[in-house]
Structure 1
Amino acid sequence: MAASVPKTMKAVDIRNGKGDTSALFINDQTSVPTPTGSQALVKIRCFGLNRMDLLQREGNYPVPTGAPSTLGVEFSGTIASFSDSPSVEHDWKVGDEVFGLAYGGAYAEYIAVSTHMLIHKPKELSWEVCAGIPETWITATQALFLIGGFEKGQTVLWHAGASSVSIAGIQLAKEEGAAAIYVTASSKEKIDFCKELGATEGFNYKESDWSKELLKATDGRGVDVIVDFVGAAYFNQNLDAVARDGRIVNLGFLGGAVVKDDVDIGRFLRKRCRFEGSSLRSRDEGYQGKLRDQLVEHALPRFKDGRFHVPVEKVFKMSEIKDAHELMESNKTKGKLICTVE
């Protein structure tokens, strides 16, 4: 039997559709979504913050067609109801504790989300930890394996090593037998944190040319897979740092999208390397569902027994969303920021 569901709910909204953190507010007259197709309605306990949320708030992130305008793509909570469609997965019932990935709408009390993107919440994990898994770990899995083609015995470089995706990626690469795992970060504290997770070595990009330091560490060979969120500012250095037959996976443009300096693209031929951009949120449900299944099969048992860890930097209340966004903008975090829904 479906739980009693109100017609309106509290959700984070943005005055005038975009702006800085001061534009965020709690709209207590937001309509509760109605599940359709393969969707369930989930009463949210916690949701995770991601850098795309900052970009969307500023009006700089293209929301997928049909996605709700409310921010947020990862959450944990309890199933409240279902649509009447036969496309709903049958491994669910009202009251099930779940976490999952959505195209948007997680900064709220309720969310309508495909049952194909839900995961049963293990009793070993908290609501806060579960809300910090879906987007970051699925993105890291996609980047490392599907796009990066990583294989046991290869080497990996994760830029923004203390970011949530790289934190997941370091652990994935270690568990899957990487020969060495390197990171870039803005401080020794963050590099030491990455080493605790399994990184071999890290390079402070504020103090030296990280690509030269990496080549020294690898005796000039470079690394097989580079996962990059920086874009234009690292384009030239990535081509120096990638090994022959290596892959550069670009997931973002924190350092700009336009390469302004002269770049020797002959390295693509000499190194037989590949540069490929990718995203997760714009992928269709079938693609995302396969990654969900991979997460459930390979990563979830390791979360349960403690081999995989989700560092949570700080937990906020939904009413403190401005503070949460400001902390993420500071680039001083070493883990997930989570909000609880009061």
Structure 2
Amino acid sequence: MSVPGVHLSHCQFSKEHKTMKAVVIEQETLVYRDIPDLVPRPGELLIRVRAAGLNRADLAQRRGAYPRPATGGESAFNIAGLEAAGEVAGLGEGVSGFAVGDRVMAMCAGGYAEYTAIDHRLAVHVPARLDWAAAAAVPVAYMTEHDALITNARLQAGESVLVHAASSGVGIAAMQIARFWGATPILGTSGTPEKLAALTVHGLDRGINYRTENFAESVLAATQGTGVDVIIDHVGGSHFHDNMRCMALRGRLVSVGRLGGRMGELDLDFLALRRLQLIGVTFRTRTLEERIAVTQRCATDLLPALADGQLQPLVHRTFPLQDALAAQEYLASNAHIGKIVLTVS
């Protein structure tokens, strides 16, 4: 999948001799070690991390295929991780709307650590009902899928949705948001009957096992031949041709991830005749202002539903921070349903 980029915190490493624990990428592996503390610069929050979510992009980051932006002027430590939840531990000059001790969650650079720092406008207050692990499972998944479904696909109540990789953290977030927005029916693909059965409580109306069914034919059968209005695709190239086959007139295909490849054939005549829209989304090329706008839109639309339980992140398993390598290996095994989260004691 394509995971959101983050505003590079201009946080410096402390010039005092204090240290913190962090998981650092070294020679394509993860090393749990001491590094100097961070101090917030103007406009930043220093966050005492309590939990950090794992994402597919973390695996690419470890291989050097998803470069992590340097933190401020010092780039000696390549801290892993793209999202975290924790308590505000420090405020840079000019920060408003937050106080030390506030519970916050955010996309960030370097979430696998005892502390991280972000532009304060990227932080969101954590609803009281969410524990740390659930809060750390929110930023990447729910901001990505809100941006894909609501901002870009312009989903309307009553429209139909197909979600690929429905059992992933982003897939579950997409189905929950679609249900909350009034979409029907919601279809989803996954590779095992057990995973599909577990997804019915998260908004799935019709599960499709892509290993045993042709998903396009199943979608057309479930929609009486009309196809779906919106497809949220976390797979990419291997699904592209069949995605086109099962889209409704004026349907929208949003490419979020490309785990199944980056290339696919396109019949431009079919695209035009069906008046389809192909939409690509990523956070990597967005400016700070664009990222702030995404955060604020998502918080406005979804935070009340996260607070009252209409939206609920699914945490499949937690690992302690020092076991980050084992956690990433478990993520790569595809055995999970929902999110994997690191906890920081």
Counterparts of 1:302 and 1:151, CA distance in 2: 18
Equivalence for 2:8: none
Equivalence for 1:98: 104
- Name the SS for the 1:314 alignment partner: strand
Counterparts of 2:199 and 2:273, CA distance in 1: 32
* 2:176 maps to 1:159: no
- Once the two structures are superposed, the pairs formed by residues 20-99 of structure 1 within 5 Å of their partners are 23-28=29-34, 30-64=35-69, 69-84=78-93, 86=94, 88=95, 90-99=96-105
Name the CA shift for 1:146/1:298 in 2 (closer, same or farther; >3 Å): closer
* 2:143 maps to 1:148: no
Counterparts of 1:317 and 1:66, CA distance in 2: 24
1:283 Cα deviation after fit: 2.1
Q: Is the CA contact (8 Å cut-off) linking 1:64 and 1:281 kept in structure 2?
A: no
Q: Is the CA contact (8 Å cut-off) linking 2:147 and 2:298 kept in structure 1?
A: no
* 2:324 maps to 1:321: yes
Equivalent pairs: percent with the same residue? Answer: 34
Counterparts of 2:67 and 2:337, CA distance in 1: 27
- Unpaired segments ≥5 residues, structure 1: none
Counterparts of 1:65 and 1:71, CA distance in 2: 11
Equivalence for 2:295: 292
* 2:115 maps to 1:110: yes
Equivalence for 2:338: 335
1:65 Cα deviation after fit: 7.2
Counterparts of 2:177 and 2:299, CA distance in 1: 14
Structure showing greater relative contact order (alpha-carbon pairs closer than 8 Å, 6 or more residues apart)? 2
Name the CA shift for 1:14/1:62 in 2 (closer, same or farther; >3 Å): closer
- Name the SS for the 2:278 alignment partner: strand
Name the CA shift for 1:66/1:31 in 2 (closer, same or farther; >3 Å): closer
Q: How many residue pairs end up in the alignment?
A: 327
1:263 Cα deviation after fit: 4.5
Q: Is the CA contact (8 Å cut-off) linking 2:216 and 2:243 kept in structure 1?
A: yes
Question: TM-score with structure 1 length normalisation?
Answer: 0.90
Counterparts of 2:100 and 2:143, CA distance in 1: 25
Counterparts of 1:246 and 1:33, CA distance in 2: 47
- Name the SS for the 1:169 alignment partner: helix
Q: Is the CA contact (8 Å cut-off) linking 2:105 and 2:124 kept in structure 1?
A: yes
Equivalence for 1:178: 183
Q: In structure 1, which of residues 270, 274, 281 is the aligned counterpart of residue 273 of structure 2? A: 270
- Name the SS for the 1:57 alignment partner: helix
1:288 Cα deviation after fit: 2.0
- Unpaired segments ≥5 residues, structure 2: 1-13
Across the aligned residues of Structure 1 and Structure 2, the Cα RMSD in angstroms comes to 1.9
1:268 Cα deviation after fit: 0.6
Name the CA shift for 1:7/1:57 in 2 (closer, same or farther; >3 Å): same
- Name the SS for the 1:300 alignment partner: helix
